[in-house]
Amino acid sequence: MKEFSDYFKRQAQGIEEFRIRDGRLYGSPEKNPSLRYYMKSRRRYRDSLLLAYPYLKEGGRTVLDLGGWEMGVLSRPLASSVLCSALDASLDELWETFKIPVESFDLMSPAFPLEGRRFDVVFFLEVLEHLPPPVDLVMNRLRGLINPGGILVLSIPNLAFWQKRIKFFLLGRSPLRLSDTRDSHEGYDHIRPYTYDECLNLFHRYGFEVQKLLSGNYQGGWYNYPFHCVECFLPRLAHKLIFLLTPRKEMP
């Protein structure tokens, strides 16, 4: 575990420095939206990498970070090749800083530039909830991107998070948090969030098996740590769900 921790700290430092530069506003995380998002997500990135780390350590793995670039940067020293599909950063700046190839495209577009390509490790973090249903096209493409014996690491916010349940029943606040400028509580651009059980049904339907699951409370603040410990054992109530999936040989 110390070996992994040291490795993550080294790689994460580079992302933090890039976020500071890319944020355009220098100073504390509160004044830098790009850095603030990274700091909130840092533990989630760490746990997502932790699931794939034993597999990456074997060497010679090809990696795809679909919808982002942070996991590509974190995996780069261990992988034989890395490709990122980044939607929220300058492609030129990412190449100049990390020397990783980056493409930007619509995952749901009929024209899919990765058609026919396969990877050993695919990261798909915090993307599924932003896509409109039905997700047949996306899930089938995900399955087709993974080499035999490869893995998919997928993270998603839990629609049935216990705090969302309380806010809904006591305050009447929707747990969906759809993005709308008229929403006084703001939104997350979430189109279709999922519960833990919905995720399991979705994976089964499209031929994936859950090998491991990490759940917990990934909100900032020391006061959330006790909740994190509890939610690790109660995924149906957890804030975030991180799955390690493998494709089944035959579709159900």
Instruction: List the chain domain ranges.
Output: 60-109+116-247
Question: What value does the mean pLDDT take over residues 213-228?
Answer: 91
- Of the candidates 156, 166, 168, the residue with the CA atom closest to the CA atom of residue 215: 156
| H or E, element range at 71 | helix 70-75
Do the beta carbons of residue 64 and residue 123 sit within 8 Å?
A: yes
Do the beta carbons of residue 66 and residue 155 sit within 8 Å?
A: no
Q: Is the pLDDT of residue 188 over 90?
A: no
The helix/strand/coil state of 40 is: helix
So what's the pLDDT on residue 25?
46
Residue-wise pLDDT for 197-215, tens only, equals 999 999 999 999 999 999 9
Question: What token pair was written down for 31?
Answer: 């004044």
CB-based contacts of 95, cutoff 8 Å, min separation 6: 101, 102
So what's the pLDDT on residue 181?
46
pTM of the model: 0.91
| H or E, element range at 216 | strand 208-216
Q: Is the pLDDT of residue 26 over 50?
A: no
So what's the pLDDT on residue 24?
54
- Of the candidates 188, 124, 137, 123, the residue with the CA atom closest to the CA atom of residue 159: 188
Question: What value does the mean pLDDT take over residues 189-201?
Answer: 91
Query: Which DSSP string do the residues of 73-127 spell out, in sequence order?
Result: HHHGGGEEEEEEE-SSS-HHHHHHHH---EE---TTSSS-TTTT--EEEEEEES-
Do the beta carbons of residue 176 and residue 129 sit within 8 Å?
A: no
Mean pLDDT of the chain: 87
CB-based contacts of 199, cutoff 8 Å, min separation 6: 156, 241, 243
| H or E, element range at 18 | helix 2-22
- Which has the higher per-residue pLDDT, 115 or 180? 115
Please state the φ and ψ torsions of residue 133, each to the nearest 5 degrees.
-75, 160
The CATH number of domain 60-109+116-247, selected from 3.40.50.150, 3.40.50.2300, 3.40.47.10, 3.40.50.620? 3.40.50.150
- Of the candidates 32, 50, 64, the residue with the CA atom closest to the CA atom of residue 213: 50
C-alpha–C-alpha distance, residues 155 and 152, integer Å: 10
The model's confidence at residue 240, banded by pLDDT at 50, 70 and 90, is: very high
